[in-house]
Each structure stands twice: as structure tokens, then as C-alpha cells.
Structure 1
Amino acid sequence: MSGPNDNFDPKQVAALDPAAVDGYVSEALAAIAAADTSAELKRARADHAGDTSPLALANREIGALPPQARKEAGQRVGKARGQINQALAQRQEAVAAAELQAALAAEHIDMTLPVDIAPQGALHPVTNLIDEMIDVFVAMGWEVADGPELEAEWYNFDALNLAPDHPARALQDTLWVDPPEAGKLLRTQTSPVQARAMLTRGVPLYIISPGKVFRSDEYDATHLPVFHQLEGLVIDKGISMADLRGTLDHLARAMFGDVKTRMRPHFFPFTEPSAEVDLECFVCHGDSVGNPDRPCRTCRSEGWIEWGGCGIVNPRVLAACGIDPNEYTGFAFGMGVDRTVMFRTGASDLRNFVEGDIRFSRSILGGAR
């Protein structure tokens, strides 16, 4: 039986000398303490705790020691490596906290400062005015009625006493939808909503019907193929032209302030008698009439501006919608919302209303009365 092997090269295991191991630990702790960033700490970890670090290389030489010396050397190296790993963990925590504080200081947000998270929009002038007009009538107890924009010929024409040969049914005025025999069209007015309301809601009836209408019109400064109307309808017992006049005067004052109105005889198939409603010019108040020294571009020195149409509901319309004209009467009126916006703000070109430029909407709303 052979004895223990006590033969080894002292130079080969010099790295395991206690003084050498203590030196590795001192160098590692100094490098770790000097690391101020995660990158520097990562480099110190690789240099002093990685696979090619002095302690890792020394650990490989333990097998060259005599058996009785291996345990002591292994404990010495393990303790040294534990010291270094503990120092790395503590320094990692300190460096991470310092970097977080630095990032918070550099990227802080002053919550007291105003900031635009997104560009602010603006209500379209037409939408804004429709809301204002609705408020006027809702305050009087009226209801808002709506209907389809793709309408049946009967609701748009026949129910409103427009004869089959009426010029409004021609292609130059009406946008018909294929196939022609289907009798479908893009409504030319919001009056079909009134017909639908009379058929479904019964009487008494107090409604307004704002919405888009469609005509085969030119696209220019004063005409659009798609524009907006607001129509009103009242059906009750004892309704007269006086009620109509009072309603329109109230609406005119709500929209334009202290302004006068007048009615001129006119003809509409669905009302009898009928009238055009004019507003006293809110720019010159009639002072430009016959006065060449003070011309008014708004009313062309006529003193009045055409606003809309109105009248007492034709008995034929009442009968067509199932209402007894001998018991009930009513009035109806309608005006262009886009044109009303122009009157209130001085806008000169209807095309600006559909271009989608938010600067226009803001300027109009800022200049509204």
C-alpha cells in the first residue's frame, strides 16, 4: 500500500497562498467600491468574479495540493469568493438606486405646468348653431324629431302636397337613387320628418327637425349640394298665424338679439297661406335704404335679409297624415342653418363650411354673436 503523495510544485499553487488570496479580495473590493455605474460594476464582476478572475484560476489549482491541504485551501477560496459576491450584491443595490434617482431627477415632470396633451378641436359652426336653436325650442317644451336622409318619394313629396309634375321632382333639383323605380331619393328638405311625426306621434304636436338636406346645386360661395335646415311644426287646436309670428320673433331675438322680422306673401305647396320671413338687417338696421352715403353690403341697402319660409299647414297635408283638418290646425317654418351662421358671423363663403379647416371653425365661433 502506497503512502500519501506529498510531492507538489510550490510555484504552481502559489495562487492559493493566504496572502495571495487576501490580495485578490482587496483588489476586488476596491474595484467594486469604485464602480459608480452598472457598466463599471459589470466590468468589475467579470474581472474579479468571472471565470477568468484570479480567484477562479486559483480554485482550479486546488487539485494540485496534497489531500490534507485541499480542504483548507478550498475553504479559504470559498470564503474569499463569498466576500466578493456579497460586496457585488450590495454595490449593485446602491448603484441601481443611485441611477434611478438620477433618472427621476433628469426626467421629472412639473405637474403644475399647463400642457397640451393633444391639439384641441372645435365644434363645427353649424353644429354649434343647431345646438343653440334646439335649446331655444326645448326651453319652450318642444321635442326634437329625426328621420332618415335616404327618404321615400311619398314622404318627401306626395305627403307634402307636391304634385307628380312639380318641378322640384326633376333631376335638376333632386338627387334620385338608383334604381329610379324604387322611388328613393336623398331628402331635399327636413319636412319628411314632419310627415313621419304626424303619422306616428299624433296630436298635439310641437317638434323641430334639424338635419342635412341634399339638392342638385352648384358648389360655390352661396350654394352647397349638402347643407342644413331646421324646420318646426306645430299641430294643435286653435293655432293661427299669430302663433307662428310670435314663435319666429322669439327665435330671431334668440339668434340675433333685438331684431325685427317681417312676412311677405309667398307660395309653398305644403302651407296655405304661406310667407317668406325676412330679418331686419342687423348691420345697418335699415339706415342704408335710400342712403347712398351709407351703403350696406349685408342687405345690399334693402334693409331686410331673407331668412326662411313659413305658413299654416295645408289641410291636404293634415289629411294625408291622418289628422282631421276640421279639428286641428298648425303652422310650419324652415330656414337654412348654414345661411343663419353666415348672417350671425359675417362669413362670406359657404365652401369654408365643408373644407374641414379648424382655424375657420375657431374664428367663426369666436366671432359669433
Structure 2
Amino acid sequence: MSAPNKSYDPVEVEALKPEVVEQARDEAIAAFAAAADLDELKQAKVAHTGDRSPLSLANREIGALPPQAKAAAGKLIGQARGAVNQALAKRQAELEAERDARVLVEEAVDVTLPFGRVPRGARHPLTTLAERIEDTFVAMGYQVASGPEVEAEWLNFDALNLHADHPARSMQDTFFVEAPDGSADSGMVLRTQTSPVQIRAMLAGEPPLYAVSPGRVYRTDELDATHTPVFRQVEAIAVDEGITFGHLKGTIEVLVEKLIGGGLELRWRPSYFPFTEPSAEIDLQCFVCRGASVGNPDRPCRTCSSEGWIELGGCGVVNPRVLVAAGIDPNRYSGFAFGLGLERILMNRHNVADMRDMVEGDVRFTLPFGMEI
């Protein structure tokens, strides 16, 4: 190991020359003074006090000096670094004071003003839509009827001409309510449609009868973009002398146009329901693709599954057997009934592409609808 170089002249080390040290000191102090904010001061600090700064590099040269030269060089570098640190601390205090004063002005809060701690809410659009439909029917002379969601099988099925072996009464479509003793034969179900309310209305009064019944219904459907196991229906029934399918068609067309607007086609498909004869399914033209996705793989539509149509519900002329079950003379009276899904109407009315948005409880979905009452 070699000994220190005792004959080395410190004047020959460029970084330790007094004029070079003083220049590095002055440049650092000037850089701190020129910093306009704390970010610029931070950059100047790294440049003039960091490991690669001129004074730090000069300080490393002291170790190579002979003992008799180290004291003078150390004093020179120490005084320069002290002056730099003092200038840095002074400028940092000034900039922090300016920042604090600016924040107090720019971010001032008047604590004397009242603050609403409860954020503004919104009604669920399905509730608003149901009430709007009720208002529409009330204006046409209908009454609003309601009934329990846990319903007797006789009202949910038998009175509607759904016999004991009908597929709709199987576990694949219906939620059956367990009896208190644990048996499955309680005679009660979660209603699969609001049609039992119509039976209750017919049993409670004499024709002429015009009633609308919105409410929740339950079916064992999978939750997807256009289906949900718990959904809302609005059903209407009219029982009077001389009621025909034409009255039904006109009522639905007026209702759909009032709720959704014009420009979308309605499609009537022959169908079968035990409680109506003849029966039909009502489809509305897809509001997203307007039918352009049909047979076009380049423009798929997840809302209508590229079919071009969205199912609204079923309808038909009331089956005479249903009238008999409710104690009404089918030779004198006839009627029509229909059921529409509120979720489907909301999708078409407000361009909601996915039914799951309605049930997930995200306030970002309900807030745009506001507090309409």
C-alpha cells in the first residue's frame, strides 16, 4: 500500500484552487436565488450540493493531499459549502412562505357557509316509468290495481287456465314457496306475472272493468343484457261488452308511442297463452341497430343479439275460461289483456344497452334520471 504523497503541491489541483471554489460557491448561490419555485430550487440543489456537484468533487480531492495541506483545503471547501447550504436554506424558506401564502388565497374556504352533507339523490327510473304508465292509463279511465308478490297458485295459474301439467308451473320457470313444515306443497309461489292482480280485480267487481297493474314478478331466468330473474311488468285488462283485438292493438300502439316515441316499428307475432285466445307477442324494433345487424356479421348488436327486434311482452283477447273462473258471463262480456316489461320499455326509451345496469345499484346509472316525480 503506497503512502500519501507528501511532496504534492495543493495549488496544482484545479478543483481546489481558491478562485475555482469561490466560482462554484457563487454559481450555486446565484442558482438558488434564480429559482422561481420549489421545483426549480430542488433541481438547483441537486446540481450544486449533490454527489456530482463541483464542491462535492473538490471535497474528494482533499484525501489525496499531504497532511500539511489538508487543513487549509478543508477550511476553504467547508466555508464554501457552508455558504451554499445557508443560501439554500434561506431561499427554501422564502419559497415555502410564498407557496403557503398563495395556497391560503387560492384555496380559501368560507367555513361560515352552510354545507349540504347529504348528496343529491335520484329516483330509480323504473319507479318513475311505472308511475308515468299509471298516469297514462288513469287518463284513459283505467284504475290502478295491486296485489301480493307471494301469490296463491290458484290465482297465479289455475284461474288463468294454466292446468296442473302446464310447463310454466315446473321448477324451471317458477319459484315455489316452501311450506312452514318444510314441504314443497305450500300452494304459494312468487308470482310469475301480475296477471293474478287482474283476477283479483275481476273477482272484486262487476264489468265494465279497466285496470292496470304494475309490479315486480319472478322467474328463473339468467341475468344477462336483456333478461333478469326479478323484473317489473305492467299489465292491463279491459272487460266490457264488444271488446275486440282491435281495441287491444290500438291501446298498445298509443301507449308505446307515448312512452318511447315514434319511428320504431312494432311487430305482432301469433303466440299462445292459456289465458288469452287469440294471443300475440309484441316486438319492438331494436333501438340500437335499427335492424342493421341482422345477417351482418360486421355489425353485431349485443342488445338484440343481431335479431333486429326486442321482445316487449305478450297480449291477447281474454280466454272465456278465465272470465268464467272470475264469475263473469263470457257470452255477454269480452276483454283484452297484455303485459309489458318495464325494463324493456326503459331500454328503448332511454337507450339503455344492458339490463344489468338497472339492478347493480350503481348511482352513476340512476343520477342522470334525476328526481322526476
TM-score, normalising length: structure 2:
0.63
Which amino acid in structure 2 is aligned with residue 343 of structure 1?
A: N
Whether 2:337 is the aligned partner of 1:342: answer no
Match of 2:253 in 1: 249
- Residue 139 of structure 1: how far off its partner (Å): 1.4
Which has the higher mean CA deviation after the structures are superposed, 339-348 or 273-282?
A: 339-348
Q: Percent identity?
A: 59
Tell me, yes or no, if structure 1 residue 144 matches structure 2 residue 144: yes
Q: In structure 2, which of residues 277, 286, 306 is the aligned counterpart of residue 281 of structure 1?
A: 286
Q: Name the counterpart of 1:177.
A: 177
1:294 deviation in Å?
Answer: 6.5
Task: Give the structure 1 partner of residue 85 of structure 2.
Answer: none
Could you tell me which of 327, 331, 341 is aligned with 1:326?
Answer: 331
1:29-178 correspondence to structure 2 within 5 Å: 109=112, 115-178=115-178
Distance 2:361 2:302 in 1: 27
Which residue type is aligned with residue 271 of structure 1? T
> Are 2:235 and 2:340, in contact at CA under 8 Å, matched by a contact in 1?
yes
Residue 186 of structure 2 aligns with an amino acid whose one-letter code is A
Going from structure 1 to structure 2, the CA distance change for 1:349 and 1:200 (only over 3 Å counts) comes to same
Paired with 1:224 and 1:285, the residues of 2 have a C-alpha distance of 23
Determine helix, strand or coil for the equivalent of 2:328: coil
Which one of 182, 190, 197 corresponds to residue 194 of structure 2? Answer: 190
Bigger CA drift: 181-190 or 194-203?
181-190
Given candidates 333, 352, 361, the residue that maps to 1:356 is 361
2:319 pairs with one of 314, 322, 327: 314
Unaligned runs of 5+ in 1: 1-106
- The equivalent residue for 2:51 is none
Deviation of the 1:291 alpha carbon = 6.6
Shift of 1:110: 5.2
What letter corresponds to residue 330 of structure 1 in structure 2? G
Q: Please give the TM-score of this superposition, normalised by the length of structure 1.
A: 0.64
SS at match of 1:360: helix
Q: Indicate the residue corresponding to 1:268 in structure 2.
A: 273
CA contact (8 A) 1:256 1:282 kept: no
- What is the CA-CA distance between 1:286 and the residue it aligns to? 4.5
Aligned residues: 258
Q: Distance in 2 between matches of 1:211 and 1:130?
A: 8
| SS of 2:185 mapped into structure 1 | helix
**Deviation at 1:204?**
0.6
From the superposition, tell whether residues 170 and 302 of structure 1 become closer, same or farther in structure 2 (CA, over 3 Å): closer
In the other structure, the counterpart of 1:31 is none
DSSP-derived class of the 2:164 partner: coil
Q: CA deviation at 1:341?
A: 1.6
How far off its partner does 1:210 sit? Answer: 0.5
> 1:200 is matched with which residue: 204, 216, 233?
204
